[in-house]
Amino acid sequence: MGKLATGRLPGLMVAVAAALALVLTGCSPAASPTSAEKTLTVGATLEPPSLDPTTNSSASIPQLLLYNTYQTLVRLDNAGNLQPLLAQRWDISTDLLTYTFHLDPAAKFASGTAVTAEAAAKSIERIKDADTVSVWANQMEVVDSATAVDTHTLQVTLSRPSNNWLFNMASSAGIVIDPDGLSGLATQPAGSGPYVLDSWTRGDSITLKLNKSYWGTPPRYDKVVFRYFSDANAMNAAMLSGQLDIISNLQAPEAVSQFSDTSKYSVIRGTTNGEVVLGMNHDVAALSNLKVRQAIAAAIDKKALLETVWNGEGTLIGSMSVPTDPWYEDLTGVNPYDQAKAKKLLSEAGYASGLSLRLRVPATAYARKSAEFVASSLKQVGITVTIQELQFGVWYSDVFTKGDYDLTIVSHVEARDVFTFADPSYYWHYDNATFQKLVQQADEASSAQELPLMKQAVKLLATDVAADWLFALPNLVVTRAGITGVPQNATSLSFDVTTIASR
């Protein structure tokens, strides 16, 4: 018996060795295809829940599809300006109500059919249609009619002038969809961009491949794989072990030092549209008092906060505007850090004996770390802050939808979301008639007059301390050395891979 047992051991050893050998041979980079096919592998954090950018608001959908698979009449460039895409040019009538878009006659969908004015009009109508339950219906509210004048000329009439409308046309609301592909958009994109969907392995990755019949300049890569990581560490590990070409946005800025070897990696630093806002509920008695809000803003040293919380990466902004907004100004000087002044303001407001506030934040890295810094800063001036960390879904229903909070910290990632302060029912509960009038005038003004009005409006938010602005999230892209053409700033939600090349 005993002999048999030991006699088996060598056999077992051989099996183990064989398995090990199999494993080791599998280690050589698996991602080297036989032909000269070029593949770019991009790491990202959020997997799209669906592939329809018009009926689901998840930012992961435009990240993957906007400009890569779907195109818009106009697009946002790296500096935040509008550029031609499907429309070669556009005219605006003197009353600012009629927009005439001249479509590129060469443009065609991946299916081979031409991108016509009729298809563009239908895409706009579809967003407006209540049956679609589109996320962007309110962005197309100002549209009275969209009609095809001829095959390549689209005329859109607005019910009132709106600069924001044209801006929104450069994002998900403005994508032109192939009328023949409308039925399966959740799983099969139908656009006119240089890439089409190749495959989707749920929970792992989505692969785009070249649109063989693309009408413009073809991009450099035959395939682009977006790999999704729920864990930021795992994404960094994949990059460090050579499984990725690009980290689309580094989630943990302290990890940037891991990629300091410039012979292997390059780090691109730009800006996003994400303002990390210390939101204040204006329905709460203490916070409806300007002096209390000023005290809170003066009590927090934003520069030290950025160092502590986000490794010094990012931009201090001072109001609801980021450097790629045309009307951006550095407004950090409006409420400078001054704890003595903060204490004085609090006692003037009648809270010399102290004040207690709840700080309810979603369970995300930037919010958790910022919350601790804010709480300790406010404690120094006599405001006791209780931090409550909520799972994102709970934060959404309790804080965002029901408005049950005193203070909150969340990053607002939409472009030009300064307009949220003009809606008194939005969860800030900020109701300032002067501000509302300013942004409406700016929206309806000619482009020359828009800028000074918006500057005034954004400054008003800062002086009125409608909220406190901690910092703007950086766009931290890590690439393998030798990769070029990655957009520096995330001006839209798109991760545009169409210009990326490698040496």
**Which residues are at the interface with another protein (CB under 8 A)?**
1-2, 5, 19, 22-27, 30, 47, 49-50, 55-58, 130, 133, 135-139, 186-187, 201-204, 227-231, 233-234, 237-238, 240-243, 391-394, 396-398, 400-401, 414
CB of 228 to another protein, least distance (A): 7
45-49: long-range pairs with CB below 8 Å, 24+:
45/228, 45/229, 45/230, 45/232, 45/235, 45/248, 45/249, 45/251, 46/228, 47/202, 47/203, 47/206, 47/228, 48/206
CB of 395 to another protein, least distance (A): 9
Closest residue by Cα to residue 69 from 181, 191, 172, 180: 191
- What is the C-alpha to C-alpha distance for residues 405 and 396, in angstroms, rounded to an integer? 11
Pairing of strands 143-150, 153-158: antiparallel
CA distances (Å), 343 to each of 164, 334, 457, in order? 40, 17, 28
80 vs 362, beta carbon nearer another protein: 362
Residue 217 near residue 107 (C-beta atoms within 8 A): no
Q: Which residues pair with 471 in a beta bridge?
A: 276
Dihedral sign for Cα 238, 242, 245, 246, please: positive
Torsion-angle region of 324 (φ positive above 0: left; ψ -120 to 50: alpha; else: beta): alpha
- What is the C-alpha to C-alpha distance for residues 450 and 92, in angstroms, rounded to an integer? 15
301 vs 414, beta carbon nearer another protein: 414
- What is the C-alpha to C-alpha distance for residues 14 and 11, in angstroms, rounded to an integer? 5
230 vs 376, beta carbon nearer another protein: 230
135 vs 465, beta carbon nearer another protein: 135
Residue 28 phi/psi, 5° resolution? -55, 140
CB of 147 to another protein, least distance (A): 26
CB of 1 to another protein, least distance (A): 5
> Strand, helix or coil at 409?
strand
8 vs 303, beta carbon nearer another protein: 8
CB of 133 to another protein, least distance (A): 5
CB of 186 to another protein, least distance (A): 6
- What is the C-alpha to C-alpha distance for residues 191 and 71, in angstroms, rounded to an integer? 7
Which amino acid type is present at position 334?
A: V
The residue behind tokens 């030798």 is 482
- What is the C-alpha to C-alpha distance for residues 103 and 107, in angstroms, rounded to an integer? 8
Dihedral sign for Cα 14, 19, 25, 28, please: negative
What's the half-sphere exposure (Cβ side, CA atoms, 13 Å) at 254? 9
242 vs 452, beta carbon nearer another protein: 242
CB of 158 to another protein, least distance (A): 19
337 vs 400, beta carbon nearer another protein: 400
CB of 204 to another protein, least distance (A): 4
- What is the C-alpha to C-alpha distance for residues 428 and 425, in angstroms, rounded to an integer? 8
CB of 409 to another protein, least distance (A): 16
The CA-based dihedral angle spanning residues 216, 219, 224, 228, taken in that order and rounded to the nearest 10 degrees: -80
CA distances (Å), 29 to each of 24, 33, 246, 269, in order? 11, 10, 16, 29
133 vs 340, beta carbon nearer another protein: 133
6 vs 217, beta carbon nearer another protein: 6
22 vs 433, beta carbon nearer another protein: 22
58 vs 288, beta carbon nearer another protein: 58
Q: State the CB neighbour count (10 A cutoff) for residue 455.
A: 19
- What is the C-alpha to C-alpha distance for residues 442 and 176, in angstroms, rounded to an integer? 27
16 vs 290, beta carbon nearer another protein: 16
CB of 249 to another protein, least distance (A): 17
CB of 455 to another protein, least distance (A): 25
CB of 50 to another protein, least distance (A): 5
